[in-house]
Structure 1
Amino acid sequence: MMDLQELRKEIDLIDSKMVELYEKRMKISEEVANYKISTGKPVFDKERECAKIEQVKSLAKTEFTKHGVEELFTQIMAMSRKLQYQLLNQNGVQDKNSFHLVHSIKEKEKAKVIFQGVPGAHSQRAMTEFFGEDIDNSYVDTFKDAMEAIKNKKADYAVLPIENSSAGIVNTSYDLLVEYDNYIVGEHILKIEQALLGTMDATISDIKTVFSHPQGLMQSAKFLESFREWKQISMQNTATSAKKVKDDMDKTQAAIASVEAAKIYGLKVLQEAINFSESNSTRFIIVSHEALFTEDSNKISIYFEVPHESGSLYNALSHFIYNGINMTKIESRPLEARPWESRFFVDFEGNLLDSAVKNALMGLRAETIDLKIIGNYKKYED
C-alpha cells in the first residue's frame, strides 16, 4: 500500500494535468467566442450543453462518479460561457438597456414628487429629507396610485417604502416594480419611531382598537403582545390611521404612527417608541418613469426568473462571483401563474458603465427568464 505522501504526489500530478487541460479547453473557448462574434450566434446553447453532459456521464463507471462528472462539467461549461461573455463585451457586443446617463436626478426644474398617505406619513418625511422642504409634492391613497401618477406623467418621482429593518419587505412595492415600467433612481433610509396615539381625553386603559399600516403593527408586535384584547386593524398608511382616530374622536381607538402625525392631527401621545427595535428603519425608494442613472450610481437592482430545475438559481448567481461583484440582497416573490415558483429580486454593487457589470448582465440575460434592470442609483449613506 502507498503511504499518504505518495498518494498526495499522485493527486498533485493529476491536478496539474487537469489544470493544463482546463487551460487548453478555455483557449478553445476563446476561439468559439470569436466564431460567435463573427456569426452573431448566441453563447448559451442549452441543447448542446445537455447533450454534452449526457456524453461525459456515459464515460463514468459508477453512479457516484456520474453525478460528480455532471457537476464538474456543468461548472466547466459555465466558466466557458462566462469567458465568452467577457470576450463579446470586449468586442463591443454588449447587453442592451434603456438607461440614460444624467448629471443628477435632482437637477430637473420644477420637479413634482408624490407620496402615498396623508400629511405626517413617514413617506412624506423621507421625501423632504431626500429632495428638500421646498419640493413640489402631493399625496395619493395607495402605492398603486403613486405608480400610476408617474406612469401618466402627473408627477416626476414617487417615494415608496420597500423594506423595514424589523418587519422585512413591503410586498406591494416589489410587486408594483414588476407591474409597472418604472425605475428606481434613488433610495433613502429613515429611522422610524412608532408611537401610540389617541384622542386628548384617552388613556391606554381606554383603548380597544388600534389602527396602523401592517408594517407599523409588525414593528410594534412586542408592545402589542401586552394588549392582546385590542383589535388590530390594518390601514393603508400610519398617518391615515392617525387621521381616522382624529376624525372618529373615539377614545377607545388608537393609532400607531409618528409623533409628527400626533402634532398634525391634534392627538395625544399615549406612549412613545413602541417599536421593538431601537434601530428600526425603513428603506424608501425614489421611483421615476424614466430610466436614469448617474456616474456615481453604485447600486443596481434587477429581477429575473429561472427555470424550475436543480442548479438554475446557483448558475445565475455565479455570474456575480465570476465577475467579482458583491451581491448585497436577494428576495423572492411568488409567480401568480406558476404555483411554488418564484421571481427573484437582487441588489448588487456597481454601475452600468462598469465592464464587470456588463459581463454579468450579459450572462444573466442569456441564462435567465424575463430579466429587467429596475434601477442603478446611489446607495444611501448616512
Structure 2
Amino acid sequence: MDLTELRQRIDAIDAQMVELFEQRMDICRQVAEYKIAAGKNVLDKSREAQKLEKVRSLASDEFNGFCVVELFEQIMSMSRKLQYRLLMENGRLEKLPFISVDALDVGKARVVFQGAEGAYSQAAMTQYFGESIDSFHVDSFRDAMDAIDEGSADFAVLPIENSTAGIVSEIYDLLQEYENYIVGEQIIKIEHCLLGVPGAKIEDIRTVYSHPQSLMQSAKYLSVQDWRQISMQNNAFAAKKVADDGDKSQAAIASEHAGAVYGLEVLQRKVNHSGTNSTRFIIVSGQKIFRRDAGKIAICFEVPHESGSLYHMLSHFIYNHLNMTKIESRPIEDRNWEYRFFIDFEGNLADSAVKNALRGLREEARNMKILGNY
C-alpha cells in the first residue's frame, strides 16, 4: 500500500476511536451522576490501578502495553475532569474558606517589614500602603510571620522574588508553614549604590557588606575590585553597620534611601549590573480574604513520587483554560528527593473554572493549600 492509502486507513480508525471515546465519556457522565447521588469521591485510585493493569495485559507486546497505559491514563484523567465539572454544575463543589472584599481595610492597620529603616521592604511598604502607615520592623522573615500570628501586625511586607537573583526560598517555606495568606503585591525597581562614611573614597574601600542577593546582583562591578565581601541579613543592616563603625575602609551596597537614613555618602550609583532589576514583594495577612478584582492565585501542593504525577496535576490548568504564570519547587523536609510545588496562575477564587481546577487538585494532589488570591 502507498502512503495515501495507509493514511486513509488511519483516518478510518481514528473516526472509530472518536466514536468509541464519545460513547465512553457518555458512560462516564452516567457514572458521575451516580457518584453525585451517592456522595462518592470522583477519584478511585484502586479502581484506576486495576484498570490500567487490565489494559496493559491486553496489549500484544511490552512497548504497546506501555503506550496503552499512557493512553488510558489520559482518558481516565479526562473522565475525572468531566465528573468534576458535573459536580460543579450540580452545586457540589466545596466552598472555599476565603471571603471576598472590595478593598483591604488598611485605615487602622499596622504593618511589619523585615530589616531596618531604609530597607527595600520599607520602600515597598510605603509604595503600597502610603507614607503615613503605622509600621515597625523585625530582624527576620519568620519574625514578621510571627507578628501576624500574635496579632501585633495586620499585614507583613516580604520579598518573594527578584528578577535577577530569583526566588527568596525561605518565603516559600514560610508560606507553607504558617496560616498566613497573600492579599497583595508590590514590585519596586532595585538600584544598588555603594555607600561609605562621609569623606570616604572608593580607593579607601577594603570590605563591602550587603545581603547575599545584592552581592550577587552586583557581581560584575565587584569582580574588578579586590574587596572582601561579607554577607548581611539585610541591606539596611549593612548600611547601619558601616555607619556605626565609622570606618572609611568599609562600604555597604544598599539603596540611596538607606544611605540617607544612616548618613552615608553615595560613592557609586547603579552598581547592580542589570538596569531592569526589580523585586516583587508580597503583602501577607492572617485573614483568608481576597479582593473581588484579584487576578492571580498562588497555591502549593505535593505529588505522589510516581512517573507522570506532576503532569496530571498541571493538566487541570489546561482543561480549565487557566494560564499558569509560575512554577517553583522546594524540597520537603525529612523526605529526601521529594518536592513541594508552588504555582501562580491567573484567576479569581470566585471563577467557576478556578473552583473546578482546585477541586481536582485537592482530590488528586497531596496537601494542596491556597496561599492567596491577589
**TM-score (ref. length: structure 2):** 0.98
1:127: which partner in 2? 125
Distance 2:258 2:106 in 1: 30
Deviation of the 1:96 alpha carbon: 3.8
Deviation of the 1:332 alpha carbon: 0.5
Distance 1:369 1:95 in 2: 17
1:29 aligns with 2:7: no
SS at match of 1:329: strand
Deviation of the 1:223 alpha carbon: 1.3
1:199: which partner in 2? 197
Distance 1:212 1:121 in 2: 11
Deviation of the 1:95 alpha carbon: 3.4
Which ranges of 4 or more aligned residues in structure 1 deviate by more than 6 Å? none
Distance 1:253 1:46 in 2: 62
Distance 1:96 1:345 in 2: 22
Among the aligned pairs, what percent are the same residue?
63
Distance 1:269 1:200 in 2: 9
2:15: which partner in 1? 16
Contact 1:95-1:361 within 8 A present in 2 as well: no
1:237: which partner in 2? 234
Give 1:296's aligned amino acid.
D
Deviation of the 1:195 alpha carbon: 0.8
TM alignment of 1:251-330, pairs within 5 A: 251-330=248-327
TM alignment of 1:104-123, pairs within 5 A: 104-105=103-104, 107-123=105-121
**TM-score (ref. length: structure 1):** 0.96
Give 2:255's aligned amino acid.
S
Distance 1:310 1:371 in 2: 19
Deviation of the 1:276 alpha carbon: 1.2
Contact 2:106-2:129 within 8 A present in 1 as well: no
2:64: which partner in 1? 65
Deviation of the 1:219 alpha carbon: 1.2
SS at match of 2:170: helix
Distance 2:347 2:218 in 1: 35
Deviation of the 1:170 alpha carbon: 0.5
Deviation of the 1:225 alpha carbon: 1.3
1:53: which partner in 2? 52
1:92 aligns with 2:130: no
Contact 2:180-2:286 within 8 A present in 1 as well: yes
Deviation of the 1:108 alpha carbon: 4.0
**Gap change, CA 1:108 and 1:255, over 3 Å in 2:** closer
Contact 2:183-2:291 within 8 A present in 1 as well: no
Of residues 155, 166, 169, the one that matches 2:153 is 155
Give 1:187's aligned amino acid.
E
Give a deviation string over 1:155-205, Cα, whole Å, max 9, x none: 110000000000000011111101211000000100000111111122222
Give 2:40's aligned amino acid.
K
SS at match of 1:304: strand
Distance 2:66 2:271 in 1: 54
SS at match of 2:223: helix
Give 2:242's aligned amino acid.
V
Of residues 138, 152, 163, the one that matches 1:140 is 138
SS at match of 1:58: helix
2:39: which partner in 1? 40
2:334: which partner in 1? 337
Distance 1:221 1:292 in 2: 40
Give 2:166's aligned amino acid.
G
Deviation of the 1:60 alpha carbon: 0.5
Distance 1:224 1:51 in 2: 61
Of residues 335, 351, 354, the one that matches 1:357 is 354
2:369: which partner in 1? 372
Give 2:363's aligned amino acid.
A
1:380: which partner in 2? none
SS at match of 1:344: strand
Q: Which runs of 5+ in 1 are unaligned?
A: 378-382
